[in-house]
Structure 1
């Protein structure tokens, strides 16, 4: 059973974290609107689509920044407890520091489970809507981002390769499509189209500006059509940019997709695995950051709450920095993705144990 003190701390834990999120959400929306309003007006984006975009925006960034929000909220209300000498009173009553931590761990468990469920099912859908809106209406928002999410070149079998310059998930259309079929080292035929669209009702692909060049021993045969319907042995997701598709698949779909890509011998497995492993590592970070926050802010300091917040912000951004750096290393180097994704949690877990021992003393 939870004691009165447990309920009091747990209520403050969850309430402060919720308020922190609710305070930053409108700030994030206002900043994004101020940056994107001109393009939205130019493209005459319907209000309904804008509203749905900002629902996805809130879910996407709340998940992305949740470790920072959680860390700062725990430091904030724990520092207030320390400044009001409430922690001294609790510990003086005979309650050990480890027992004092119990409501924090319960709160971290609740937040972690919520984050885990969101990461498995809700965040991928929000990520798909968020990115699709940007591609559809905010194309000019950063050329570097567009370069990272275009020019998909993929091997779909031992002797077949496909390429598209970019992909629109809303219309399920890819542009500048080519399919090359080889026989040994020799090109057998090449199919090209200005755009290719998936027809979900008929379960076929529609090619516009279609041409097919079949290589012959003496001369080539050319075939062309304004529109042609074809059935290919690749799926719609094969036309999607690497990181984009991984972020938009729910947990079980992502596991199946990774297995399929392994059998194909895909060179992008590490990128997919980083996304998969982060679905587990981010919820675990809630426990680590909670312990660090309590250890840092449970004692009165000469600088007061401001000093605790300064230390907290520094540690929070250090955690995010480590997380990003090792995520990139896993994608771009030979470092195993599982190790790279979990290194920030291991490093900060050791730091949490050290700070917790100091706080107990």
Structure 2
């Protein structure tokens, strides 16, 4: 690395650390408001909830890496434009691509860090947090369950709960590649989920082989793992692919799982789009009378987060193809950056 590379890396790194702390705090506050506050209101143990929030920190850090990088890039390059440093670089024969190169290298490091953490540290941390909720689920199911919740039982089977109300839980499915159990009602009892008045269907390949009704069935929950809202992030790439294949065989929708799979790569890869966009915008603004400023930096960072959130929801609901929902926001910023690089001062 030459002097220019070290200078850019140092400047961006300084702002990046502070931005990451702010973004992580904001994401944790969002998790507290959207997920944990309702649990507290329903009677969940505050100590268990606070510990679960602590286990969400690695997830917030991984998701905050790209946003903090975008914030730091916009702030540093905007300042360099205001102080005519970018003009001096152009006058000295340093091209825009030369300025972009070290930022892409820094982005590559963040991409590897984010992806590897999302495949190792984050799943372990979230699963440890989920394990703390096991007993709470058994003691107070209404506090920690909601319609659409997915659990995993002692045999690794997926348990889908479609109804949660004052009367208990219902519309339950226990799913494997070989069989499904469907029950209208269920209750937690002695570490197990007891199903009432249901139907068991076994499969030979993709076709049903046997169908039988039952009055009662017991699903052991010794190794119960609660998947809270947004819990797909706790699965690795291999686990997501396995679940998608299982759902495909059973004819169940897997939009959310496919979107989460593509996002495993797209979220950390956003750093490359941000580097292109930030450099393009900085050189484009050299001919402008007004700089981006702190407000502009915050707005552009928020625009990406809002676009990412909307695309994720649309992908999980099947409105957008999962690939487009995951990669669309990145492509928008990358294309905008390439356009600005072409239009900006040479």
Residue number in structure 1 paired with 2:10: 11
* CA deviation after TM superposition for structure 1 residue 160, in Å: 3.5
Give the equivalent residue in structure 2 for 1:218: none
Distance verdict in 2 for CA 1:351–1:24, change over 3 Å: closer
Gaps of 5+ in 2: 150-160, 163-171, 203-207
What does residue range 249-328 of structure 1 map to in structure 2 within 5 Å?
249-262=235-248, 264-298=249-283, 299=285, 302-304=289-291, 307-328=292-313
Instruction: Give the Å deviation of 1:45.
Output: 5.0
Instruction: Structure 1: give runs of 5+ residues left out of the alignment.
Output: 201-235
Instruction: Describe the superposition over 1:214-273 as per-residue Cα deviations: whole angstroms up to 9, x where unpaired.
Output: xxxxxxxxxxxxxxxxxxxxxx77xx66976633222223333333433x3241322211
Q: Determine helix, strand or coil for the equivalent of 1:147.
A: coil
What is the SS of the residue equivalent to 2:94?
coil
1:248 and 2:234 aligned: yes
Matched, 1:110 2:109: yes
Q: Tell me by how many angstroms 1:280 deviates.
A: 0.8
Q: Once the 2 structures are TM-superposed, how far is the Cα of residue 311 of structure 1 from its aligned partner?
A: 3.3
Figure out how many residues of one structure are paired with residues of the other and give that number.
313
Equivalent residue runs for 1:167-186 within 5 Å? 175=193, 177-178=195-196, 180-181=199-200
Corresponding position: 1:192 with 2:211? no
Bigger mean CA deviation after superposition, 5-14 or 340-349: 340-349
Q: TM-score, normalised by structure 1?
A: 0.69
- 1:350 is matched with which residue: 331, 335, 343? 335
Task: State the match for 1:147 in structure 2.
Answer: 147
- Relative to the length of structure 2, the TM-score reads 0.72
RMSD value over aligned CA atoms? 4.2
C-alpha distance in 2 between matches for 1:55 and 1:134? 13
**Counterparts of 1:330-349 in structure 2 under 5 Å?**
330-333=315-318, 335-349=320-334
Q: 2:270 touches 2:330 (CA, 8 Å); kept in 1?
A: yes
